[in-house]
Each structure stands twice: as C-alpha cells, then as structure tokens.
Structure 1
C-alpha cells in the first residue's frame, strides 16, 4: 500500500524537476531565446511601419481623389437627369448624411426630388405581415391584381409604388389624373403612415419617375436577417417595376453577410437584371455613379457598380437615355 511518505517524496521530486528545468532554461537558453524574440520584434515593427506608411499614402491619394471629384461633380452630372423626378427611399438603419449627399448630387444633375419615403422597422418586421396584407386588401383599387406567388412585401410595395411613382412621363409633375385617384393615393400613404409603417416627407404633387433606395449602413443580423433583406429587395424591385428605374445605394460591406441588402439584390439574378446597385455612395465618386446609374436605367439597362462583392465595374459605360415606355417595368 502506498503511504504518505511515498506521496511526499513524489511531490518533492516533481518540484525539484521543475526548479532544475527553470534554471537550465534561464541559463542555457536565455541568450538564443532573447535574440530570436528581439529579431522577431524588430521585423514586426519594421513591417508595421511600412504598412502604416502605405496606409498614409493611400489615404492621402484617396483624399486628393475625393476632393477632385467633389469639386468637379456639378460639371460631371450637369443635365444628366433633366426633367426627371426622383423619389428617395430610406431603409431602416440607413445613413441620413449619405442620403443628403446623394440628394444634393441628384439635384445638381437637373432632377427634381419628388419626396422622401422612410420605411420603419415595423414595415419589415415578419410578424407584421398580417398588418400589411390587411391594409393592401382594404386600400387596393379593384383593378389591381397580384400574382399568385407574390409576398406580403410584394403586394404592399405594388400599392405604395402606384401612389408614388410612374413609368409614364406624361404623368410626372402636378397630377393630371382624376381627383379621385389623387385622393386614393393620399389615403394609401396616410394609412401606412398612421400604422407606423413609414413616413413621407417633402412630397410634391405628382409621381416620381425614378427611385433611389438608401440601403442600411450595417447588414441585418440574427435569425430574421435574410427575411428583412428579402423584404428590401422586394421593395426595390417593386418600385423599379412601377417607375422608369430604381437604384439601391450604400457602402460596401467588409464581409459578405446574409443581411446585406446590396449583396442580396446582386445575388438575385432576376432582380439584378432590372435594379442597379452602387456600393460607393459613401464617397464622392459613388454619388456621381448614382446619377449615371439612373441615367442608364432610363435607357432600359441595369448594372452593379462599386468595389464590393458582386460589383461588375466601378461605373456604367457612357449611355444616352433612350427610354421605351413600358407598362410593366422601369428597366
């Protein structure tokens, strides 16, 4: 039987071995280990300093490019969208400063801002689909028929778009339709606003011809991320169908995530054929590209522009708008 003395001797032997190891490590291996650590530290410091210098140089070049583009923006976009009316759509979590900067450049292009539609989180909430369906069934005109495969967001967007945009140039500007139609459109917007689903600001008389959606600053997260993103894709596609074109604008995400609205549009091959995206709206060049993308939409084409995943190129090729009236789609 193993007694206490055996355990004591074993414990003493273990600690003695540890002590000997420490002594050997600090005497025999001290210099090589310290030399290696110092060389590694020096190499990392040198590499870090080089990267910092490269980053500073890139930031300087970027600042110079941004300053040049910002100074030349009025000339670069002048007359590109003369006669068009643009509806601005703000998604939940989008940047107000980004929207304001984009609005300024759109106005410099000769377009008129027809109003701002701000969607709330309640509009996108999957638990609120019943509310959307109830409003649509209550407010839709008798002749508005939805495809059997349409979702709650598809139907709600179709109704909202019919009240805010048009693909018929003759209907742009002050309303030329019957007073009953104008009243019905106002009722639709007021009902959705009363329900806490959206707000409408600075709306001018008559529908817009184009739409720009400002995407959320950060991708949606959590179990409902894909559902929320799909809802925004449905909104963009629905407004595109009812107008002469729609562009979704925002900033490129650092990594591809399921809740990224711009990536979701690009990943949907059918929607990407109709709706354009710009992921550099946080930069002066991106705001110019928004205008060029809207011009391209007028010509019946769409593209995915910027620097993020799924972007085909930085900006559209030079395009002369030759819109073809369509009762179904704006692009």
Structure 2
C-alpha cells in the first residue's frame, strides 16, 4: 500500500518540474521578445520623426504660400471691385480677426464698405419668430407685399434687402428715412446690430459665416434662415457671397446649407477658406463674378466647383485684333 510520504514526494516532483519548465521557457523566450519589442519601438520612433518632418515641411510651405499671397494681394485684387459698395452681414459667432481681414481685402480691391449688419441670436430663435413676423409687417412700406407662402425669414429677407441693397447705380450710397426706420426698428427689437451706415444702399454683400456651425435639432432651420437672407440680398442687388472658414462647410454650417440648395446655389456664391489670404482673394473674384451674372461654390470643402472662379478671358481691342 502506497503510503502518504510517496504521495507527497510525487506532488513535490510535479510542481518542481513545472517550475523548472516555466523558468526554462521564460529564459528561452526572453531575449527574442525583448529584441522584437526594441526593434518595434525603434521603427515607430523613426516613423514618427519622419511624419513630424513631413508635417513641418507642409507648415513651412503653407506659411510661404500665405506670405507670398499676402505680398502680392494688392496686385492680385487691384481695381477688381472699383465703384462697388459692399455691405458686410455677419452671423453670431463670427471671428473678429477674420472679419477685419476680409474687410481689408475688399477695400484693397477698391470697394467701399457701407457698413456692417450683425444678426443677433434672436433673429434665429424660433421662439422669437412671432415677434419678428409682427415687427416686419409693422415696419414694411405699404406697397410691399409678401407671398402667402412666405415664411417669417422670407419676409424679413425681403424687407432687409429692400432697405440695404440696390442694383440701380443711381441709388448706390443713398439712404432715406424709411430705410433708417426699418433698420432702427429691427435693432431696437433685438434682431440685429448696426455698424457704419448700412442704410446707404450697397450693390454687393459679403455674408460672413460663424466658425462654429449651428447645432441641435434647430440647426438646419437656423442655417436656412441665414441663406434665405442671402437669397433676398442677392435679389435686391448685384450679388452675394457667403464667406467663412472650413467649418462653415461642415454639417450644420451655413455654406453647407447653401450648397445643398441647388436653386439658391445657382445665384449665391460661397467661399469656405477665408481663413487663408488666398481664400480672401477668391472672395473678391467671386464678387466680381457675381457682378457679371455668374455664381459658384469655391474652396476646399464638400460641394465646391473649384478653388476659385475661372479667370475671365480679356476681350481683345480693335487694335489688338488687327482691325
């Protein structure tokens, strides 16, 4: 009969064998595993350094391009908007430095800025739609009528456009008491803020999109309110360009809203890279195209037709044509 001591010795022998196996296995695998890990670390470090170098090179190229365009800007846009009066319209949340850079570009191109019309949050608030509708009906001239299907923002766009825009050169820069009363009424109502003298009618409008797109369930309607105003201003003058940073061409962005409206996109232009000097130059070219009766969607975001409008072909003079 096998005694207890035999069982104990057997169990000890089994555990000893396991321990020896584990030690030997670890020893055999240790060096290859460490070498493999070290090699992987070296490779990842090298890849990271290479990618960092590529990123730095791209940044240097972009900085060089921006510097080059900034230096040449006066020559690139000189006289492009001579004789045009431009109204700036901005949504809530527009970057002030972007607006200032865009305004400088427009004046460099020869445009005169009539003023700035800043839409307040209340303009887009559905809870204030009834108040806005009533105010528009109160402020509109007696002869102005609206379609029975017109929404509140359709009506507001028509009234504002009639107040600040014109395609008639004789009316450019001209303000009247009716225009002043309309703008003052909307400002007093908390729907917009005024800077300069936007009541002196402009021929063109640049509408600046906010950096942060509208969010939530009401985002599409809020973006549509902005583009509806763009359509109204376009109908009242020579043309409109909606300009903004790349985010304005993302989901909820006002440029996205414009580009998804096929009919409106045939009339109103957009530029989604006014964060760059070259994008601001493109805004000038897009306005020039609007004056000529064209429109396009420009930049690098979804729905663009090109980065910039096609350069118009010069019409040869009689001397150049040999006649």
User: TM-score by structure 1 length?
Assistant: 0.84
Name 2:274's counterpart in structure 1.
281
Structure number with larger C-alpha Rg: 2
Residue deviations 1:29-80 (CA, integer Å, cap 9, x gap): 5444433333332222222111111111111111111111101111111111
CA distance in 2, matches of 1:230, 1:114: 25
Contact 1:299 1:321 in 2 (8 A): no
Name 1:302's counterpart in structure 2.
295
Name 1:264's counterpart in structure 2.
257
Name 1:187's counterpart in structure 2.
181
CA distance in 2, matches of 1:124, 1:27: 71
Q: Which of 242, 246, 250 is matched with 1:252 structurally?
A: 246
Q: Which of 236, 244, 247 is matched with 1:242 structurally?
A: 236
CA distance in 2, matches of 1:275, 1:91: 17
CA distance in 2, matches of 1:278, 1:222: 24
Name 1:153's counterpart in structure 2.
153
CA distance in 2, matches of 1:125, 1:26: 68
Change in CA separation of 1:44 and 1:130 when aligned onto 2, cut-off 3 Å: same
CA distance in 2, matches of 1:254, 1:139: 32
Please say if 1:214 is aligned against 2:208.
yes
Name 1:100's counterpart in structure 2.
100
Aligned length, in residue pairs: 296
CA distance in 1, matches of 2:314, 2:112: 17
Residue deviations 1:239-293 (CA, integer Å, cap 9, x gap): 1111110000011139831x11111111111111011000110111011111100
Name 1:318's counterpart in structure 2.
311
User: TM-score by structure 2 length?
Assistant: 0.86
Please give the root-mean-square deviation of Cα atoms over the aligned residues, in Å: 2.3
CA distance in 2, matches of 1:127, 1:204: 27
Contact 2:87 2:205 in 1 (8 A): yes
SS at match of 1:114: strand
Contact 1:295 1:321 in 2 (8 A): no
Shift of 1:134: 0.6
CA distance in 2, matches of 1:148, 1:321: 46
Please say if 1:53 is aligned against 2:53.
yes
Change in CA separation of 1:320 and 1:87 when aligned onto 2, cut-off 3 Å: farther
Shift of 1:144: 1.6
Please say if 1:84 is aligned against 2:95.
no
Residue deviations 1:292-329 (CA, integer Å, cap 9, x gap): 0000000001011111111111111123799xxxxxxx
CA distance in 2, matches of 1:254, 1:207: 27
CA distance in 2, matches of 1:298, 1:96: 27
Change in CA separation of 1:130 and 1:26 when aligned onto 2, cut-off 3 Å: farther
Contact 2:211 2:248 in 1 (8 A): no
Shift of 1:169: 1.7
Please say if 1:134 is aligned against 2:134.
yes
Contact 1:93 1:217 in 2 (8 A): yes
